[in-house]
Structure formats: C-alpha cells, structure tokens
Structure 1
Amino acid sequence: MKKYFTVLLLAIFGLIAFSCNDRNDDVVVNDQDTYPKMTDITGSFNAGNDYTIAQGISIADTDVVLVYRNINSGNSNGTVWQLLPKTEFLEGGRELDYNFLFDTSRIEVFTEGNFDQSTVSATEATTYLNNQRFRLVLVPASQGKNANLDYNDYNSVIKFYNIPDRK
C-alpha cells in the first residue's frame, strides 16, 4: 500500500509541477512567404521617364530592398555591383546622384543632379544614364537584424542570405 501511495504522490506532484510551469514560451514564427531573392532591371534615364526606372515588386511591409548598380557593364573584367545611394562626381563640379524609393509593391530607381541632366554629353549619357543595369535584392528584415554584415559588399550580402548569384 505504501508503494501505491508513493506512486500516487509522485503523480500528483508531477501534475502540479507541470501545471504551474510558466508556459509563456517565446513563439518562433516561421515566415514561409518571405525569402531572400533578387531580380535585375535595365533601363535608361531620360527626361521622358523623369529620370526614373520603375519596377513592380511584392514584399511584406517589414522587408527591405537593397539596390546595386552594375558599374562595370560591358567591361571584360567582370561585373562590379555598387550599393545605392551613390553620387558620381562629373567634370565642372556636377554631381549625379543615384537613389531609390520603395514600398511593398513598387520600387523606383532614379537619378538627380545639381545640373540639368539633359545637358550631359553623349559619353556621359552612355556611362551614367543609358542602359543602366541594377540588381534588386529583396530580403526579410528579420533575417538581417543585428547581422554583422557589410551591405556595400554585394558578395557578402548574397552569401549571408544564401542567394545564388546570377552571372
């Protein structure tokens, strides 16, 4: 009888201990619809498009867009990606800024200058305005939180987010 009493006492003690346990565990949410991805856009900046290239996207309102400009297009030394925003310093004290805006459904990459952009030379237009290629990297903000990551280094970014590079 003493053996049954001990088992019963242990069972009651276990039930009480389990029910009194703090069950306010942190909830881990696995967001299945958000993942790092990238896409490329190419376009030319001109007065007709208000020096803006637009692209539709679909991201959560907590996600982040990184935009890189290919600054080595047409060069046999390989592709070099530069993070925006970026200012290019032209002759005569002129500055041409590349920047972007985004929301959950659209991104706009645009140029602004401290001069009338329609006055660029043909060589400058070829280098800075015509057939510009940009890489949009869409990443969940939660994945990069507190990350020790140099976002200026495109290769580090795609490695961190495990995004296959497009050659």
Structure 2
Amino acid sequence: MKRIEHLLGRVAGLFAVVGGGALLVLAGVTGIAVFYRYILRNPIFGIEDVTTMALTVLVAASIAWAAVNKGHVSVNIITSVFGRSVTRITDVVARLVSFAMLGFASYALFVKGSCGMPCGAMTSNLGIIHTPFYYVLAAAMAFYAAFVLSHLIIGVQHWHGADPNEVTD
C-alpha cells in the first residue's frame, strides 16, 4: 500500500503541475483582458471562454492535489463523542459512500464528455469543445476515488490499531 500511496502522490504532483500551468494561463489571460478592456477600450471577443476552460483545468487539478495534501474540509464530531470503536465503522461507511459518489461522478463526466459537439457541449463564443475538459475533471474525480479506496483498504488493514489516515483534531 505504501507504493500505491507513493504513486498516487506522484500523480497528484502531475495534477499540480498542470494546475499551475492553468493558473499561469488564467492570470495571463485575465491581465491581457483587463488591459484590452480598460486601457485600449477594446474587449477581446471570447476571453470568457478561455478563462472558463482554464478555470476548469485548475479546479480539476485542485481536487486531486487537495485529496493527497488533506486540503478538503472534514468535520470529525463522532470521535469526540463515541471514540475509535465507532469511527472504525463510520470511516468504512463514509469511505465507501465517498468512493461510490466519486466513481459515479467520474463515470458521468466521461459519458457527458464523450458526447461532445453533438450534445452542444462547447463554449458559446469561440466554440471550444468541452470534451477534453470533461475528461480532465473525470480523471481528477477518478483519481480521488482511487485515493479514497486506498484509504479504505489501509483503514481496514489497521482495524485494531490507529488508522494513519483518520482525521485528527
């Protein structure tokens, strides 16, 4: 399992690099758009489309990176009330539900993305096809599902001890 966690960390690093690139594109496009709109008084046609697509890549990368770096919000009330004996069970249930939801979201994004132009999945001004962006979001959700599944397996392996991935206060 250590190798799998290491591999997932490396993949999250790749998502972070792609997200960093998207952030640079987003910052550059925004700066150029502001310059053209307010200094030259000539807004760039379709700039919203480029911004939206860059933001989609940034969100996908953030999902994957935050999963590995514990950036997602979690509230752990059960531990303070009932203790580890109950959270063993609730952790399994929560991780199974999370895995199912993320898997379903990933599947739905792949299906929706595969439709592409026939379904009208393109930006309104420039006609940028959404398909690759749906796939990037689907990959991020699939990555997060795999990450949750690895935590589920590790949690079951540490059933009688402390779960190394359990949220601490």
TM-score (norm 2): 0.23
Quick check: which has more Rg, 1 or 2?
1
Greater helix content? 2
Greater strand content? 1
TM-score (norm 1): 0.23
